[in-house]
Amino acid sequence: MSTKDLRIVFMGTPDFAVASLDILVQHGYNIVGVITAPDKPAGRGLQVQESAIKKYAAGKGLPVLQPEKLKHPDFLAALQALKADLQVVVAFRMLPEAVWNMPPMGTINVHASLLPNYRGAAPINWAIINGEKVSGVTTFKLQHAIDTGDILFSESVSIGEEETAGELHDKLMQTGAGLLLKTVQAIAQNQVQEIPQAHLPEAEIKHAPKIFKENCQINWQQPLDKIHNLVRGLSPYPTAWTLLKGKNLKIFKAVKEHTTPAVAPGEVITDHKTYLKFAATDGYLVLQEIQLEGKKKMEIEAFLRGYRFE
């Protein structure tokens, strides 16, 4: 089937999905519809915000649907009318069977991990939090249970010692787009082989559940490597945090100093000019980029110039 004959509906919302939609558009695929989240108020002024995918689709003149409910009869009728051969999902929400089972070629998903590991909402964050050296992207066919469908293709990427979730996100976004193109090309040519996900015992599969604020608080009683991984894995969002004189302190960037601490875990050492570091059990976390509650994000030297310790 040619690129023009293959009718594709694309579903996605954030920046991560834009590279995948763009690569299909650039290669001449027939995107007959784009499904994304409804516009919603955001930011301090609660201005109505459009999703990254909606902005991209509008710029390319692609038809956009923004259903509140994916099971609503009006949406299902509108989706059916698009007569898609294939649906592509990248960073969207969980689909009901009436949606994912609609097109004759099925629905494929781009997931930012090497499945079956890191199924769930936050695979990029958890890979770094857990100290992984390798991550990757998987394309798979959607079925009932989330992130469990047959694997089509996967590609690995390495994770650097200081790499943050934001940096890995950008790397996987590009890798995922390339892998999606490869997958769609193979499907169009009927050259894809579906591989059931490995039957690992459930206890051995690492998961990637949604992250909440309590997951982000630093426990200074832990080893330095674990704390450093938490900071990297939550930067730039939702960000690891601790308390400094009773105020919430977000840590975007920090480096490790392996040495025997001279103070108890969680205590601070600073020269008031160039460095501020928190003690862990086996060293110090030396802060580089932070944001104190009520203040803007800043480098540590700029912060120390304006901050007064009692």
154 is known to lie in a ligand binding site? no
195 and 54, same domain (yes or no): yes
104 and 126, same domain (yes or no): yes
95 is known to lie in a ligand binding site? no
11 and 78, same domain (yes or no): yes
Task: Tell me which of 183, 204, 225 is where a domain ends.
Answer: 204
143 and 33, same domain (yes or no): yes
Percent of the chain with pLDDT over 90: 87
176 and 227, same domain (yes or no): no
- The CATH number given to whatever domain includes residue 167 is 3.40.50.170
Domain that holds residue 245: 213-306
pLDDT at 63: 97
**Residue for token pair 């558009």:** 25
According to DSSP, residue 22 is labeled H
158 is known to lie in a ligand binding site? no
141 and 183, same domain (yes or no): yes
Helix then strand then coil, % of the chain, to nearest 5: 30, 25, 45
Q: Tell me the per-residue pLDDT of 31-78, one tens digit each, with 9 for 90 and over.
A: 999 999 999 887 777 788 999 999 999 999 999 999 999 999 999 999
126 and 71, same domain (yes or no): yes
169 and 93, same domain (yes or no): yes
256 and 167, same domain (yes or no): no
103 and 147, same domain (yes or no): yes
16 falls within a domain: yes
12 falls within a domain: yes
Across the range 255-259, mean pLDDT stands at: 97
35 and 181, same domain (yes or no): yes
236 is known to lie in a ligand binding site? no
25 and 112, same domain (yes or no): yes
* Token couple for 106: 């099925």
CA gap 112, 291 in Å, rounded? 28
Q: Tell me the per-residue pLDDT of 198-230, one tens digit each, with 9 for 90 and over.
A: 766 676 899 999 999 999 999 999 999 999 999
Q: What angle, rounded to 10 degrees, do the helices at 15-26 and 52-59 form?
A: 20
Total structural domains within the chain = 2
